[in-house]
């Protein structure tokens, strides 16, 4: 059974997956890093043959090294909610 935090995390992920507006690259990197830290933790690996985009993603994730999975989920949820609230306000 999923915890309340896991349910909120999954909901935020699904809502952002349905988000049809382009987000700034720095926001996308933060979302990626929080997601990877929340789902994988500190098992960070880098492929030397990766392209520049993957290098930026790896760097963003590396900066969260040591953050707990639960903290990463909370940060992801907060950022997702902020993005979704902005979208809602822009429709009004």
> What are 7-49's pLDDT values in tens digits?
999 999 999 999 888 899 999 999 999 999 999 998 777 677 7
H helices of 18-51, in order, are 25-39
Architecture in CATH for domain 4-16+24-42+50-91: Up-down Bundle (1.20)
pTM as predicted: 0.83
Quote the pLDDT of residue 78: 98
Cα 36–Cα 61–Cα 29 angle in degrees, nearest 5 = 85
Q: What residue ranges do the domains of the chain occupy? A: 4-16+24-42+50-91
Instruction: State percent of the chain over pLDDT 70.
Output: 91
Give me the pLDDT at residue 6, please.
97
């Amino acid at each position: 059974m999923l915890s309340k935090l896991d349910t909120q995390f999954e909901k935020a992920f699904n809502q952002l997956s349905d988000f049809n507006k382009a987000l700034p690259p720095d926001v996308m990197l933060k979302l990626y890093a929080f997601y990877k830290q929340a789902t994988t933790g500190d098992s960070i690996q880098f492929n030397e043959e990766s392209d520049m985009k993957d290098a930026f993603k790896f760097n963003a994730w590396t900066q969260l090294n040591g953050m707990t999975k639960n903290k990463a989920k909370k940060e992801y949820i907060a950022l997702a909610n902020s993005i979704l609230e902005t979208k809602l306000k822009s429709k009004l």
